Amino acid sequence: MKNSERSSETYLITRWRQFCAGDKSAFGELTELNYAALYHYGTRFTPDRDLIKDCLQDLFLEIWEKRETLSYIAAIKPYLFQSLRNNLIRRIRRQSVFSDIRDDDVQDDISPESDWIIQETDQLTSHRLKRAIDALPKRQKEALYLKYYENLSYEEIATVMGLQRQAVANYLQYGIQKLREYWQHATIFLALCSEIVWH
């Protein structure tokens, strides 16, 4: 598994160099390989799917335009993520998914029906975690996403988000800590609820 990951990394670099030299099929392949990850990352900033697709098209056309100046780039994914982020943020006028707690989540009831608890224990913890993550500051949420889902290193996250490495480390540590506290509360709460139900 690790080997194939590594070979795919060198593969991407080879294709990137070919793209920089004007190889359109390499360009197409790189676009295809990175499109989904970039799209999903885009959904972290805005619910407007058309805007994301627009930005992605602009992004790829832009890198095709300046391909000859891009051969120095060794870390392709962080570069693309960073570019998309800048483009999107520049164009976003609306509230982002990362920003505030949504209204419909705030009003959630803390004391649900007892039979509902028994059936939906797992969903409840997930649901509460969702609330916890929604309550995190948007940059913490974004750093967590890049670290765990996209597997970027601290340095790469710092590049993408335009932060110092230390700031990234702090965000991640604080974010995980918050989530875990939430988890613990949710679990204790659940245990209490089921006690009450059983007695």
Partner 1 sequence: MNNYSHFQVKDWLDDQAFQRWVYHGEQDAFWKEIIQNHPGQQANVDQARELLLAIRGELDALPDSEVKLRVNEILNAVPDEKLCVLPWWRSNWLKMAAMLLLALGIVIALFKGRENLQSLQTFVAGLSEGDKPGLMEIHNQTHAIQLVNLPDGSSVILKKQARISYPAAFAADRREVTLRGEAFFEVVKNPEQPFFVYAGSMVTKVRGTSFSIKANDDEEDVELVVKTGVVEVSALKEGGKSEASAGKKLILKPNEQVTFNRKSLNMITKTVQKPVLLNLPAESQNFEFKRTPLAEVFAGLEKTYGIRIQFDPRAIAHCTLTAKLGDEPVHEKLDLICAVVNARYETRGSTVTIASEGCE
Least separation in angstroms between residue 163's CB and partner 1 is 18
What dihedral angle (degrees, nearest 10) is formed by the CA atoms of 159, 163, 169, 174? Answer: -130
Q: Identify which range of 28-36, 72-80, 84-92, 162-170 contacts partner 1 by CB under 8 A.
A: 28-36
**Nearer Cβ to partner 1 (23/167):** 23
Least separation in angstroms between residue 178's CB and partner 1 is 11
Applying the rule CB under 8 A, the residues between 57 and 86 that interact with partner 1 are 57, 60-61, 64
Kindly give the residue spans of alpha helices, DSSP state H, lying in the chain: 2-20, 24-42, 49-65, 76-91, 103-106, 114-119, 121-135, 138-144, 154-161, 165-198
How far, in Å, CA of 164 to CA of 116, rounded?
45
Q: Identify which range of 76-84, 105-113, 148-156, 158-166 contacts partner 1 by CB under 8 A.
A: 148-156
1 lies in the binding site for partner 1 (CB under 8 A): yes
110 lies in the binding site for partner 1 (CB under 8 A): no
Q: 16, 3 in Cβ contact below 8 A?
A: no
Q: Identify which range of 109-117, 138-146, 160-168, 191-199 contacts partner 1 by CB under 8 A.
A: 138-146
